[in-house]
Amino acid sequence: MAGAAVAGGTEGKVDWRLAAPLGLTYLAFFAAPFAILLGISFYADAEQTRLGLDSWTKFYGDAFYLKVIVDTLKLGVFAVTATTLLAYPLALLFRAVGPRAQRVLIFIILMPLLTSVVIRTFAWIVILAREGVVNQTLLALGVTAAPLNLLQTELGLVIALTQIEMPLMLLPLLTVMNQMDQNLVDASRALGASKWRTFFRVILPLTLPGWIAGATLVFASATTAFISQSVIGGARLVYLPALIWQQSMVVYNWPFAAVASLTLLFTVLAGIMALGWLGRFARTG
């Protein structure tokens, strides 16, 4: 490692040419498009003939678009919460079973990643429809007297996203949980702590880095899941990705779409930063 960082055999001098391919790629595929997007957002009209802040003031001065931002953030938080509640029991089960059962569980966890998100999303249309598996099961059990409307609702979208994003939460969590020292758990139980106290005082703090990584992936993926939001949410639910597509491909108002795109980018970054801050606070608290 140290030798790779030495320039032309001159000790102590870093050869920045080694980082040039990555730097140029970053510049070409992220920095330059970001700069173009930022520049377009400062056009005041859809024809891009006049500079101004009209697109920004229109976006942030309208209660409808502010609600779209809040709904997008809520969707990410709901997806993280739902995947967390299901991932921890699955991860604890994975840790408790033998190697053969672990291989089966790994296959079940990874199988959704081998299937296109489009196929999985359309499968959820069949499952959540009024004549679908969920409604037929609820009717057969007598839980409801009439089929529920799950499609084009936030509840149906969160249910679908929970299954679609579950591997992104489980894989980092399993990695950290497998490295956890079982002696600490056994010591907690031997000292009289209940299972819940052991979970919240021992297992949860030790697996927090894995949860932070999984929550970051799920939040970023759920808030930008254009296919799932459009197909399951339909036209009744509007989130930032659908708004960007509508403004850029239907209305052709690129400055306004640029403002929405930058808002989505900063929204996701804010969520990731909040999760990172939560992780640091938990470690030092």
Please count the structural domains in the chain.
1
Residue 19 forms part of a structural domain? no
More confidently predicted of 82 and 181: 82
Residue 6 forms part of a structural domain? no
DSSP-derived secondary structure for the chain? -TTTTEETTEEEEE-GGGGHHHHHHHIIIIIHHHHHHHHHHTBSSTT--SBSSHHHHHHHT-HHHHHHHHHHHHHHHHHHHHHHHHHHHHHHHHHHS-HHHHHHHHHHHHGGGGS-HHHHHHHHHHHHSTTSHHHHHHHHHTS-SS----TTSHHHHHHHHHHHHHHHHHHHHHHHHHTS-HHHHHHHHHTT--HHHHIIIIIHHHTHHHHHHHHHHHHHHHHT-HHHHHHHHTTTS--HHHHHHIIIIIS--HHHHHHHHHHHHHHHHHHHHHHHHHHHHHHH-
Nearest Cα to 260, choosing from 120, 31, 68?
Answer: 68
Residue 35 forms part of a structural domain? no
More confidently predicted of 283 and 230: 230
Residue 263 forms part of a structural domain? yes
The tokens for 154 are 């936030």
Residue 18 forms part of a structural domain? no
Q: Can you say whether the dihedral through the CA atoms of 197, 203, 206, 210 is positive or negative?
A: negative
Residue 183 forms part of a structural domain? yes
Average per-residue pLDDT for the chain: 87
Residue 201 forms part of a structural domain? yes
Instruction: Say what the pLDDT of residue 272 is.
Output: 86
Bridge partners (DSSP) of residue 43 are 51
CB atoms within 10 A of CB 153: 17
- Asked if residue 273 has pLDDT above 60, the reply is yes
Instruction: Say what the pLDDT of residue 9 is.
Output: 52
CATH number, domain with residue 140: 1.10.3720.10
Residue 124 forms part of a structural domain? yes
Per-residue pLDDT of 116-175, as tens digits, reads 888 888 888 888 888 888 888 888 888 888 888 888 889 989 999 998 899 999 999 999
Residue type, 282: A
More confidently predicted of 39 and 98: 39
> What is the span of the domain harbouring residue 71?
51-282
More confidently predicted of 120 and 285: 120
Most confident residue range from 54-68, 175-189, 229-243: 54-68
Q: Average pLDDT for residues 194-211, to the nearest whole number?
A: 90
More confidently predicted of 218 and 146: 218
Which range has the worst mean pLDDT, 115-124, 197-206, 216-225, 261-270? 115-124
Per-residue pLDDT of 101-120, as tens digits, reads 988 888 888 887 788 888 88
Q: Is 75 exposed, middle or buried (0-12, 13-18, 19+ CB in 10 A)?
A: buried
Is residue 10 very low, low, confident or very high in pLDDT (cuts 50, 70, 90)? Answer: low
Q: Rounded to two decimals, what is the model's pTM?
A: 0.85
The tokens for 263 are 């808002």
Is residue 65 very low, low, confident or very high in pLDDT (cuts 50, 70, 90)? Answer: very high
More confidently predicted of 225 and 284: 225
More confidently predicted of 35 and 3: 35
Instruction: Say what the pLDDT of residue 79 is.
Output: 95
